[in-house]
Amino acid sequence: MTSTTRWVGICIVVSCIGLVGFFFLRTPAVPAHTPVTNLTQSDDSSVVVTPVDLIPPTTATNEATAPTEGSPTTEAPLSTEPITQPISTPSTRSLARIVFAADFASDGGCADHSETDACDLFTATLNLQTGEVGSVKQITDTSVSESYPVWNPNGSVAYASVFETYTKKFLHFVNLTTSETGRIISNATWPDIHPDGSTLFYVTSDTHLLMQTSLSSDGLNVGTSTKVTGSKNQEDPDVSPDGQSIVFHQIGSDGAHGVVLDRATESTVAFSDRSGHCAFSGSGDFVVCDNSRGGGLYRRTYTNKTLGESSLFVADLKPSQIAVYDNAFTSCGGTSFNYPTFCGDDTHLLASISCNTDTKGGVSFSQLFLIDVSGSTPVYHAIGNDLADAFDGPGKSSWTVDCLP
């Protein structure tokens, strides 16, 4: 064999090995985590906000009819067994957008829901892995208080409850593309949106009837409102990720109780323990509620539309414990969770933590926290403090939040 022939043979063998390697390398692999960049405060400081009072209400009929008897309600038991919390697989997502209510002009502005506390709406980016915030932008500036913001799934419209007085509220929208704001439903509070953006759920601000109305594709107009249930004194609806169930809490003579409604059958199941504001997890496999008596956040499984027993999910922290993340809590008489919501998965939870002035629950101020519950011990990020610092406001009061993954 000549040296030329030998070299040709070697080249053929190497080429074959290279082709085999090429095809192996072309096999799809699990994508690596992409670092998040550009998490700085927005340079756009020229947001124009139209005063709410200058925008006329929509002409849709929003009056609720007289209540009728609701469907029979069964009761789910309270567990006395030790906590057996399955740990969900942590999300690999990083960046989310949040809309939240805050008063960065003072420390206690959002605590009492009054019509003069100037709790306005803001948006920001949130890194779910690190808790880092960025692009903080104020999107409303009114003389009244705004709370309970929610996103439209299209990401270009947000909604919130506006407090004309403590008992008189209306819903308004904010078009983030044009900066236009406007009243969308009178006598309304506690909005939530169906995951496909087709329906707006809310509660009447006078009798607290749970209502629903259709939404236009752009999210700026509504149809005629109809009752979801026939009972009064219902608050804070949260729609499941599949749109088939709603969790809310019902005020009764013995306090507040969580209730899950199956929209298809209109049947309801009530929690046996006292529960406050509730939210579905990102998968819809369980519900988490704050507790009207304090003590932390409580969890119930919800599989095949069957509600499980209650177990402690995240315990309240002592002021000295939460002060590790935000030293403003050092002088609090106690702390409590309020208005939990998940950020598109089962492991990243957003909630307000209130500084109670005494053990009876009087609130001095509230701050937003991101809580990573993927491990056996929750990891806290004091995003309310960071949001205020990023906005460079003298106050740090932040109250309610919604997340757009």
Look up the pTM and report it: 0.77
Question: How many Å is the Cα radius of gyration of the chain?
Answer: 25
Which residue's structure tokens are 């309610």?
Answer: 400
Say yes or no to pLDDT of 344 above 70. yes
The token pair at 35 is 């670092």
Measured distance CA(191)–CA(158) in Å, rounded: 10
Q: What is the pLDDT of residues 136-194, one digit of tens each?
A: 999 998 878 899 999 999 999 999 999 887 778 999 999 999 999 999 999 999 999 99
Q: How far, in Å, are 87, 177, 288 from residue 131 at the CA level?
A: 20, 26, 21
pLDDT at res. 94: 86
pLDDT at res. 383: 95
pLDDT at res. 371: 97
Per-residue pLDDT band for 399 (boundaries 50, 70, 90) equals confident
Per-residue pLDDT band for 111 (boundaries 50, 70, 90) equals low
Percent of the chain with pLDDT over 90: 50
Q: What is the mean pLDDT of the chain?
A: 78
The set of residues, in sequence order, having a beta carbon less than 8 Å from that of 297 and lying 6+ positions away, is: 288, 289, 290, 291, 312, 313, 314, 337, 340, 349, 351
Q: What is the pLDDT of residues 351-392, one digit of tens each?
A: 999 888 765 556 778 899 999 999 989 999 999 989 988 888
Report the candidate in 290, 280, 233 with the shortest Cα–Cα distance to residue 260: 280
Q: Indicate the domain borders of the chain.
A: 95-404
Per-residue pLDDT band for 38 (boundaries 50, 70, 90) equals very low
Superfamily of domain 95-404: TolB, C-terminal domain (2.120.10.30)
- Find which of 7-16, 45-54, 125-134, 224-233 is predicted with most confidence, using mean pLDDT: 125-134
Taking residues 296-321, report their average pLDDT: 92
Taking residues 22-29, report their average pLDDT: 37
Which residue's structure tokens are 């460079």?
Answer: 392
Per-residue pLDDT band for 73 (boundaries 50, 70, 90) equals very low
**More confident call, 10 vs 397:** 397
Q: Which of 74-83, 201-210, 233-242, 283-292 has the lowest mean pLDDT?
A: 74-83
What is residue 320's three-state secondary structure? helix
First and final C-alpha spacing in the chain: 66
Element (H or E) spanning 383, and its range?
Answer: helix 383-391
pLDDT at res. 292: 59
Say yes or no to pLDDT of 328 above 60. yes
pLDDT at res. 40: 34
Q: Which DSSP letter does residue 391 get?
A: H
pLDDT at res. 222: 96
pLDDT at res. 313: 94
In one letter, which amino acid is 391?
F
Report the candidate in 207, 173, 157 with the shortest Cα–Cα distance to residue 187: 207
Measured distance CA(211)–CA(347) in Å, rounded: 30
Measured distance CA(275)–CA(368) in Å, rounded: 20
Q: Where are the beta strands (DSSP E) in 194-263?
A: 199-203, 210-214, 226-227, 234-239, 245-252, 255-262
Q: What is the pLDDT of residues 243-252, one digit of tens each?
A: 999 999 888 7
Per-residue pLDDT band for 114 (boundaries 50, 70, 90) equals low
Say yes or no to pLDDT of 218 above 60. yes
Report the candidate in 154, 159, 152, 156 with the shortest Cα–Cα distance to residue 121: 159
HSE-up of 125 (CA within 13 Å, CB side)?
Answer: 16
Taking residues 237-241, report their average pLDDT: 97
